[in-house]
Chain A
Amino acid sequence: DIQMTQSPSSLSASVGDRVTVTCRASQDISSYLNWYQQKPGKAPNLLIYASSTLQSGVPSRFSGSGSGTDFTLTISSLQPEDFGTYYCQQSYNTWSFGRGTKVEIK
């Protein structure tokens, strides 16, 4: 099984800050890495697939990078509506998620 490790587990940042979340796979997964945002009480929402491809309708302040085992989700300028928990997910071999990074607005 492929294990996904996210860091940090939580962060607090101000509006306008650049925010970075990292995700590490336990083995090489090429670019088979997706990112989701989940707000409290809601279903997750796909942000990025194939490591760096922005899903239709997702603001351009979100970006993803990485390949192999190390990946990054970046929010270039944090907005109030970006609070929530962010999950990485590998789709290389079945599916597995990271434990999530909770983003709070200061």
Chain B
Amino acid sequence: EVLLVESGGGLVQPGGSLRLSCAASGFSFSTYWMSWVRQAPGRGLEWVANIKQDGSEKYYLDSVKGRFTISRDNAKKSLYLQINSLRGEDTAVYYCVTTGHSSTWYYFDYWGRGTLVTVSS
């Protein structure tokens, strides 16, 4: 069974930092692109960042470039998101997501339960 468990969320002041983690199990982690997707309270889904299997390629939502850093440790089967210079609009549930594919078609097939980040003074 595929399991993705996020941790590291919490209440942080504007301008602060957090490091989110995602522990993966039940699949071959090192063979998957991985992503972070967030959802502000009562709002829709927003892709934040993704990373290639070996970490050599990383892509970010424009509004988080320079503040967020995605990384992974394949030996530990873990995905990370370092988030700095936090703003109120970063308040959201952050989901760890596998990027599956069939031929050239890519999609988010497995999701964790999410970890809540609240930015407030």
Number of interface residues of B (CB under 8 A): 20
Contact with A53, one of B62, B102, B111 (Cβ below 8 angstroms) = B102
Q: How far is the CB of A105 from chain B (nearest CB, A)?
A: 20
The tally of residues in A whose CB lies under 8 Å from a CB in B reads 24
Name B's interface SS: strand
* Nearest CB of B to A31, in Å: 8
- A-B contacts counted at CB < 8 A amount to 56
Determine the chain A residues whose CB is within 8 A of the CB of B105 once the complex forms. 31-32, 49-50, 53, 91
Secondary structure type dominating chain A contacts: loop
Beyond A1-B62, A91-B105, is A43–B114 a contact (Cβ under 8 Å)?
Answer: yes
**B residues touching A (Cβ–Cβ < 8 Å)?**
35, 44-47, 50, 59, 61-62, 95, 102, 105-109, 111-114
